Chains A and B, each alone.
Chain A
Amino acid sequence: MRGARLASVGKSSRAPLAFSLPAWILIIPIFILPLGLGLYLSVFDKSLGFPQPINFVGLANFQSDVKNSNFYSAVKVTAQFMAIAVFIQIPIGIFLAMVLHSASKFASMFRSSLLIPMLLTPVAVALMWRFMFSSELGIINWVLDKMTLAQPDWLGSVTAAFFAVAIVDSWQSIPFVVLITLAGLAAMPVAPQEAAMIDGASTIQRIRYVTLPLLKPVLLVILLIRIIDSFKLFDIIFILTRGGPGTATQTLSMLDYNTAFTFLATSRAAAIGVVLALMSLPLYYLWKKVISVSS
């Protein structure tokens, strides 16, 4: 009897493993093994331009990253793009979603048009904008010229290039924030809003004390996704500025790419990758928060 019970416990403890096995079969080769290889490479001196064998160098690659001024500049640029995503793109997206949610006329047309930027691949978007930003041939400076406004050197000036990347990223990302928020607003119960109206709450009070708290799970998901997106922002920058002028728009991903593919310094690039992974660890806690709030 006791033996049968133990066998049943044994069977039940193996069941979750059996059910999750297909997932592990995928996760191990495409996530865990590359991560392990990245860690392994980061403590060696592997460089494709130098003959084998490779030597163990401990933390030397990490020290060399820390000493490199480009690394700090890349961290700063990455943080700046993240700040734009969190403090500018998300509020604008929420505001637009609320306007669209309350407006009945043309709302469906706007919603449909919002899908367009999201459907386009970032490379195509960046190529299109690169042409529009052109100082000589671009439509943006042509319009500014007609309006007798100053025409920045969008991709050649340090400040303007940064804003050019931010504009393109926002153009593609704000619709995502709008659509997810709109979905959240549509699924929101009507009763709390009606109760607040009967109690005489103003529009701003209703947004502050009813709408936003009820949207919290959705907003946390948006926050998480936008932070992750801005953390790995690469394709738009690669096409628009290649991280320039100088290092003005060089994010950590861009620096990692240059180190691996241009300098052929595999181990140094792996070390940057490891640092990137470590820097993204706090996102795990945000994700846990999302899960707890959602449940």
Chain B
Amino acid sequence: MRKKFKVFGTVTAVLSLLLSSAFVATSSSSAADKKPSAINVFLIPSPSADAIKKLAPKWTAKTGIKVNFTEVEYGTAHQKALLSIQTGKGEQDVVQFDNTFLAAFANAKALTQLNSYTSASKEYDINDFTPALQQYGDFGGKKFGLMLSTEPFIQWYRSDIYKSLNLKPAKTWDQYKANAEAIQKSGKASGQLIGYGPASTWWWMQMVWSFGGKLYDSKFNPTVDTKEAIAATKFYKDLLKSAPKGALGFNGDDVTIQFVSTDIGQILQYSGYASGVFDPKMSKNAKNIAVTPAPAGKVNAIELAGWNIGIPSDSKNKTWAWDFLEYMLGKTNAPNFLNAGAAAIGRTSITTNKALVAKNPYLALLSLPASATVYTYPSLVTWPEFDKVSSDGLASILSGKVSVEAGLKKLNTALKAVLAKEPKP
């Protein structure tokens, strides 16, 4: 009996040992806490990416983990990142992406859900963002991307030209147009510039939203031929009269390049261009440029853009990837990140930091007012195609090939085919 008990005890002990070692093996192979020698970060060339590279050695010094960077130009970056993630090999641990691709990445299950990380992190402190900004990077109510830059449309104007013509910064679109016409008439500069070229959709949709219109309804039917959209498009086209020559060929970057290198009274552009606009080495007008919020229409619409950054779903080092993001984009490092040349992130602690705002007045515009209706790029998996089809349609309208009404009707039909591919929630 005793012998039997001894054998039973030995077997139990061995089994317990085996089970406990298996448990230890399982928990360590979950990889979450195992410290890697390096993590891989996928970036797209931008001031924010440069700042990350600049500050990464400090994180390495803190953790002892090396950071390997892969940088891919914008045109093919998203496709390459998605392909890499879909192979499931865990090649990247952190991935930067444009917010316009958020829906495609999230729908393809390419990103790790970050809610548990953001809600638990005091260092990241999500409450340091206004409610509108807290949702940036969310898809289907879940967070898949952190805000890497906060870039609302803001109005940039030439203070010297405004002063000489005794103009005041516009608060409404009508005032914006009146200012543009006054500047154009004076012969001192072109009246204004917004995007009319390959990226025309970005400016046009801001106009549609300002005029109370929508791009599509809750059932994913396009609504770009409504009376609000027609009025917005007519206004948008009308502003072309006070734009410089060649505006129909300018892409998004060109709007800024023209503003800083030629004489244009005012532009509407994303705040993310601030570092270049206010840099005297890059901007001949740097000392004479001031900023003010985007004009309001029937709706005080503010279009919000900016980079996102997240953790690929196949990353094998998620804990350390989060540690890297938390360090880089956390509240403590936020001023350093800005000073390293990154496009600003609209943390309340940044937009209310007197020293930083004194140095960069545009920062105050990043804390979007509660009275404004904030619009991000539509959360559509098919958004890139929607965007391209819209800008193609707008080109016909702007060139006068078709009337606004006929052009928008045609565009509405074309967008119907695009939205038909959209996965329904």
A contacts, CB < 8 Å to B: 48-52, 70, 134-137, 141, 151, 153-158, 161, 241-248, 258, 260-265
Q: Are A153 and B79 in contact (CB under 8 A)?
A: no
Q: Are B249 and A161 in contact (CB under 8 A)?
A: yes
Nearest chain A residue, comparing its CB with the CB of B106: A49
> B72 CB to closest chain A CB, in angstroms?
11
CB neighbours of B392 from chain A (8 A): 70, 244, 246-247
CB neighbours of A154 from chain B (8 A): 246, 249
B contacts, CB < 8 Å to A: 75-76, 78-79, 82-83, 86, 101, 103-105, 107-109, 196-198, 244-251, 258, 261-262, 381-382, 384-385, 388, 391-393, 395-396, 398-399, 401, 423
Select which of A48, A241, A242 is within 8 A of B83 by beta carbon: A48
CB neighbours of B101 from chain A (8 A): 264
Q: Are B197 and A264 in contact (CB under 8 A)?
A: no
Select which of A50, A243, A244, A260 is within 8 A of B381 by beta carbon: A50
Q: Are B385 and A262 in contact (CB under 8 A)?
A: yes
**Docked pose: A250 CA to B196 CA in angstroms:** 17
**Docked pose: A155 CA to B109 CA in angstroms:** 39
**Docked pose: A84 CA to B245 CA in angstroms:** 28
**Docked pose: A20 CA to B280 CA in angstroms:** 61
Q: Are A153 and B78 in contact (CB under 8 A)?
A: no
CB neighbours of B393 from chain A (8 A): 246
> A44 CB to closest chain B CB, in angstroms?
14
Select which of B250, B388, B399 is within 8 A of A158 by beta carbon: B399
Nearest chain B residue, comparing its CB with the CB of A245: B395
**Docked pose: A137 CA to B263 CA in angstroms:** 11
Q: Are B107 and A49 in contact (CB under 8 A)?
A: yes
**Docked pose: A51 CA to B423 CA in angstroms:** 11
**Docked pose: A207 CA to B393 CA in angstroms:** 50
Nearest chain A residue, comparing its CB with the CB of B74: A261
Q: Which secondary structure dominates where chain B touches chain A?
A: helix
Select which of B78, B261, B262, B398 is within 8 A of A264 by beta carbon: B78
Nearest chain B residue, comparing its CB with the CB of A155: B249
Select which of A48, A156, A161, A261 is within 8 A of B104 by beta carbon: A48
Q: Which 4 A-B pairs have the closest CB atoms?
A: A135-B246, A156-B248, A155-B249, A246-B395
**Docked pose: A50 CA to B395 CA in angstroms:** 30
CB neighbours of B103 from chain A (8 A): 49
**Docked pose: A260 CA to B261 CA in angstroms:** 35
> A73 CB to closest chain B CB, in angstroms?
9
Nearest chain A residue, comparing its CB with the CB of B88: A52
Contacts A244-B197, A245-B395 given: A48-B82 contact, CB under 8 Å? yes
CB neighbours of A260 from chain B (8 A): 79
Q: Are B423 and A134 in contact (CB under 8 A)?
A: no
**Docked pose: A51 CA to B110 CA in angstroms:** 9
**Docked pose: A246 CA to B394 CA in angstroms:** 8
CB neighbours of B261 from chain A (8 A): 137
Chain A to chain B contacts (Cβ below 8 Å), 19 pairs: A48-B104, A49-B108, A135-B246, A137-B261, A153-B245, A153-B249, A155-B246, A155-B248, A156-B246, A156-B249, A157-B249, A158-B401, A244-B197, A245-B248, A246-B393, A247-B392, A261-B76, A261-B78, A265-B385
> B414 CB to closest chain A CB, in angstroms?
8
Nearest chain A residue, comparing its CB with the CB of B393: A246
> A132 CB to closest chain B CB, in angstroms?
12
> A100 CB to closest chain B CB, in angstroms?
36
Select which of B75, B83, B198 is within 8 A of A244 by beta carbon: B198
Select which of B105, B196, B249, B385 is within 8 A of A241 by beta carbon: B249
Q: Are B262 and A136 in contact (CB under 8 A)?
A: yes
CB neighbours of A155 from chain B (8 A): 197, 246, 248-249
CB neighbours of A141 from chain B (8 A): 245
Nearest chain B residue, comparing its CB with the CB of A70: B392
CB neighbours of A243 from chain B (8 A): 198
Nearest chain A residue, comparing its CB with the CB of B104: A49
- 19 more CB-based (< 8 A) A-B contacts, given A50-B107, A136-B262, A264-B82: A48-B83, A48-B108, A49-B108, A135-B244, A154-B249, A155-B249, A156-B248, A156-B249, A157-B399, A158-B399, A241-B198, A245-B249, A245-B399, A246-B395, A261-B79, A262-B388, A263-B382, A263-B388, A264-B78
CB neighbours of B399 from chain A (8 A): 157-158, 245-246
Q: Are B384 and A263 in contact (CB under 8 A)?
A: yes
Q: Are B246 and A153 in contact (CB under 8 A)?
A: yes
CB neighbours of B104 from chain A (8 A): 48-49, 264
Nearest chain A residue, comparing its CB with the CB of B105: A49
> A166 CB to closest chain B CB, in angstroms?
16
**Docked pose: A262 CA to B104 CA in angstroms:** 11
**Docked pose: A247 CA to B104 CA in angstroms:** 24
> B184 CB to closest chain A CB, in angstroms?
14
Q: Are A134 and B76 in contact (CB under 8 A)?
A: no
> A145 CB to closest chain B CB, in angstroms?
11
Nearest chain A residue, comparing its CB with the CB of B103: A49
Nearest chain A residue, comparing its CB with the CB of B395: A246
Q: Are A151 and B245 in contact (CB under 8 A)?
A: yes
> A124 CB to closest chain B CB, in angstroms?
16
> A258 CB to closest chain B CB, in angstroms?
6
